[in-house]
Structure 1
């Protein structure tokens, strides 16, 4: 018997403090009730928190995380998986590695208990990865323990025992009594299953049984010293099973009676019934078939056994074998038929549960994919809108901002300059005799000259500046946080770059120059008046002979 430890991005309105406090109290209560093994009450607390209007995604994830664990312990695997997957979706998006590991562990157990071992493994592995990435030895211990259980259920007892040994070694570094007890018990159980598999394959099971025996004796001693009745009862149950396999019947009977007394005193009814079956196995192993038969028949009349179909199948199989051995074939056939009917019923129920779990898993996955697709479509629409906006505000030839961009960006620059008391300068720039370039060399060469000019403009601008193609061969350069005497050298470098450029490589005999007019923004000056002064300064540069700079103050 194996023991186990018990948003999309959107605008979220501030949560009412009273509501937040109420939800947190309920979630903390759910955690405490889980530790105490009171899973029905713990589930109720988590569901109450989840139903409160205004519960935020992080609280929803916490509530679903607790519900997944509580429902697992209560045997409601469908609810456990559904809540676990929903919690995991949020925790993955927030990068909470340790809680991801915890939920993965819960899901691994839920799928293992229902026979869906491949799905269980798909959670056991990331549980271990998340625990190690989160650098938590305690989380890593529980992930190793869960992985050991999964591999054991898959029939890979060697891997299951190896992982159990890793978990036991890690538990020695932790100051956690439950972890140490669970590590001993689970590894002992894995050794028992490995020994049974070895016996079926005609291999010697003794080494595995001896290892398991030592582990279970240590677990019983530790649990008794700590007064942990539940762990002691489970450890005794496993110890009895190993002693039966080793033919140590007197010691097995002694520990079984001790286990039964402990189970009865603490109300562990299911464990008490299981011990009765073990006592009957001891009697049978000793050759007292009539006494063993009477004990098992009595057990089958006990109402509480209806809750444990696996135990019923074991009893019917044992009774079938004993009656057959005594040549009581009618009785043997009756137990055989009951055993197969129960097996078929259990198989059918398990298959139905597996189907529902897989459907739930697919539904959660489909919902996640649809949400991701919606987000992707929204992102594509946003990108497309930005592209269209960029196209509307960008000159297609030079890829510089256009007049529409100027109308949008310049007021913002002016507001910033006013708020920070920073100066602005505007430079109107125009090619000299550009018509001659088009006439003598063609419009294609003219376009190449303009694109080259755009590169030069970018070279003299900063992030705080704005370079715009106004149209034709005319450009505007706005210098942010720049005085007029600072803008002049920048324009001079630009004029020199145009003048000295190897235009002959663009077209034989081609030469180009530009003229510039500078104007500083005056306090309370209108944009139109400011740019008009820069344009008048440009006209002055043209009038004085071109290839030069004139400021509006000249």
Structure 2
């Protein structure tokens, strides 16, 4: 029996257990100290009233209940958080993480997966790799418990990857341990053994007593499963059984050193299984009775029932079929065994085989029929639960896909709106900003200039005799001239400046933090570049010049009056002979 299996099956609300890493407690620094935990006493109905304070207090309480193995109370605390209207997305995800683990331990695997997957979405969005690794382990166990091995495998692989990516060795240890368990369940015993060895080696580098115990105990359990598989194939399993026996003895010693009765009872159970496989019956019986007494004294009822089954198995292996039959009949009559279908299958199978060997065929037939009915019930329950979990998983994934699609559609609409807005403010021919863009940008430039006390200059630029270009060469060539002009305008402007096509062959340049003289110099460079441009490559015999009028903004002046002055300076340049720059004198 592994640590993960036994905690769910045997933890009593009144038994204090060591905190498990899934709860987010400080496992990296060793075993957490629970002596200062202020846990409310009383039945679950009183818990919420006692921790009524803040949401964070409820979340902390949910983790502390888990550290004490009190999963009913822990689930109630997490549910209380989710019922609040004022929780943040972080608090909601945290509550679901806690609830996923508590529901796992309580055997509610469907709810464990539901809350775990919802919490995982938040952790992935936050790139919280450590918490992702821990939650992947919880989800892997939930799927594993319902024989959904493929999703369990996906989660253990993700847990290992996330643990290594965030550099947490303790998270990697637990991920490897879960991975070993899943591979064993899938029938890959060799891979399970390999991963168990990796987990054991890693545990020896950690200052974490719980991880050390879990590695030894789980390794012993792995050896049992591998040995049974080898024997089923007719292979000698003595070597792997001896290895498992060594690990089991060290695990028992480790639990004794920790003073942890629950761990010791569990480790002795694995030790008994190994001794039975090795046919060392006297010690197996002695260890089983010791484990049973420890379980009885501490209230570990399920472990005690398991020990009874082991004792009966020892008695049977020694050939005392009548005594073993009586012991198993007593176990079947025990009310606590009624809900444990796996135990009932074990007992009915053993009783069928023993009655058959003793030629008590009527009793053998009865137990065979009970075994058949139980097997069918288990298969039916498992199939139903698997269906619910898969449907739940699909619904959550579909909801996530729908949300992602809605987000993408909103982004596409926003981008399309921006594209349309840009198109509306861009001249389609020259790809320069148009008058609409000017109406948007010019007030901003004026406000910045006024705030910073900087000069601002406008230059109206217009082709000379552009009508002749269209008349002599056609409008297509005229368009090419305008496109070339746009490139020339960009070459004399900076990122802070603005170049606008006002319409036809007229353009506007707005120079930020620029005086009249500097703006006029920029325009002179523009005129020279237009004059020297190889227009003949556009059309044979083509030549072009432009004229410009410059005006500096007078603080407090309206933009329309300012641009009118620049336009007047342009016409002064035209009247003065064209291919020149004229500065408005204010």
What TM-score, normalized to structure 1? 0.96
* Change over 3 Å in CA distance of 1:193–1:378 after alignment to 2: same
Query: What residue is the counterpart of 1:202 in the other structure?
Result: 234
For 1:161-210, what per-residue CA distance to the aligned partner results, in whole angstroms no more than 9, with x for missing partners? Answer: 11111111111222111111111111211111111111111112122211
Residues 1:236 and 2:268 are matched in the alignment: yes
Q: Partners in 2 of 1:495 and 1:31 — Cα distance?
A: 76
1:272-327 C-alpha deviation (Å, 9 max, x unpaired) = 00000000000111111111111101100000001211010001000100111111
Q: What is aligned with 1:3?
A: 3
The answer as to whether partners of 1:20 and 1:55 remain within 8 angstroms in 2 is no
Partner residue, 2:506: 474
Deviations 1:394-440 (A, max 9, x none): 11111111101111111111112222222211111111111111111
Which residue number corresponds to residue 124 of structure 2?
Answer: 92
Q: Of 398, 416, 420, which aligns to 1:366?
A: 398
State the match for 1:15 in structure 2. Answer: none
Partners in 1 of 2:369 and 2:467 — Cα distance?
A: 104
Which of 36, 45, 48 is 2:68 aligned to?
Answer: 36
Deviation at 1:21, TM superposition (A): 7.1
Find the partner of 1:449 among 481, 486, 499.
Answer: 481
Aligned-pair CA distance for 1:2:
1.4
The CA deviation string for residues 126-152 of structure 1, in whole angstroms up to 9 with x for no partner, is: 111111111111111111111111111
Residue aligning to 1:542 = 574
Q: Which runs of 4+ in 1 moved over 3 A?
A: none
Pair 1:302-2:334 in alignment: yes
Q: Deviations over 1:255-288 (max 9, x none)?
A: 1111111111111100000000000000111111
Write the distance in 2 (CA, Å) between the matches of 1:240 and 1:20.
46
Question: In structure 1, how many angstroms separate the alpha carbons of the residues matched to 2:257 and 2:456?
Answer: 82
What is the match of residue 12 of structure 1?
A: none
User: How big is the shift at 1:20?
Assistant: 12
Matched, 1:176 2:176: no
Stretch of structure 1 that moved more, 267-276 or 537-546: 537-546
User: Do the aligned partners of 2:200 and 2:219 also contact (CA within 8 Å) in 1?
Assistant: yes
| 1:269-418 alignment runs, 5 A limit | 269-418=301-450
Cα deviation code 1:68-114 (max 9, x no counterpart) = 00000000011100000100011111111111111111100000000
Q: How far apart, in 2, do the equivalents of 1:488 and 1:142 lie?
A: 74
Give distance in 2, aligned partners of 1:456 and 1:192. Answer: 83
CA shift at 1:499, angstroms? Answer: 1.5
Equivalent of 1:45 in 77, 81, 94: 77
Partner of 1:517: 549
Could you list the per-position Cα deviations for residues 432-465 of structure 1 after superposition, in whole angstroms to 9, with x for gaps in the alignment? 1111111111111111111111122222222211
SS in 1 for 2:54: helix
Q: Is 1:143 aligned to 2:181, yes or no?
A: no
Within 1, Cα distance between the matches of 2:60 and 2:339? 31
Q: Distance in 2 between matches of 1:30 and 1:389?
A: 52
How far apart, in 1, do the equivalents of 2:238 and 2:467 lie? 101
TM-score when normalising by structure 2:
0.91
Judge conservation of contact 2:52–2:58 (CA < 8 Å) in 1.
no
The answer to whether structure 1 residue 420 and structure 2 residue 452 are counterparts is yes
In structure 2, C-alpha distance between the alignment counterparts of 1:140 and 1:41, rounded to whole Å: 29
Unaligned runs of 5+ in 2: 5-19, 23-50
Q: Which residues of structure 1 form unaligned runs of 5+?
A: 7-18
SS at match of 1:148: helix
Q: What is the alpha-carbon distance in structure 1 between the residues aligned to residue 108 and residue 528 of structure 2?
A: 81
Q: CA deviation at 1:501?
A: 1.3
Q: Deviations along 1:360-415, whole A, 9 cap, x unmatched?
A: 00110111111111111111111111111111111111111110111111111111
Q: Which one is further off, 23-32 or 270-279? A: 23-32
The alpha-carbon deviation at position 520 of structure 1 amounts to 1.2
Q: In terms of mean alpha carbon deviation, does 421-430 or 354-363 score higher?
A: 421-430
> Structure 2 CA distance, aligned partners of 1:482 and 1:142?
67
Counterpart Cα distance in 2 of 1:409 and 1:51: 50
Please state whether the residue corresponding to 1:339 is helix, strand or coil: helix
Task: Work out the CA distance in 2 between the residues paired with 1:312 and 1:287.
Answer: 22
Secondary structure, aligned partner of 2:193: helix
Match of 1:9 in 2: none
Q: Specify whether residues 113 and 396 from structure 1 end up closer, same or farther in structure 2 by C-alpha distance, changes over 3 A only.
A: same
The SS at the match of 2:3 is coil
SS in 2 for 1:53: coil
2:530 and 2:52 mapped to 1: Cα distance?
Answer: 66
CA drift of 1:332 comes to 0.5
For 1:70 and 1:27, the matched residues in 2 are separated by: 13
2:137 matched to 1:105? yes
**What does 1:483-498 align with in structure 2 at a 5 Å threshold?**
483-498=515-530
CA displacement at 1:493 relative to structure 2:
2.1
Aligned residue pairs: how many?
542
Judge conservation of contact 2:459–2:549 (CA < 8 Å) in 1.
Answer: yes
Native 8 Å contact 2:459 2:566 kept in 1: yes
- Give the distance between the partners of 1:251 and 1:492, measured in 2 at CA: 106
* 3-state SS of 1:307 partner: coil
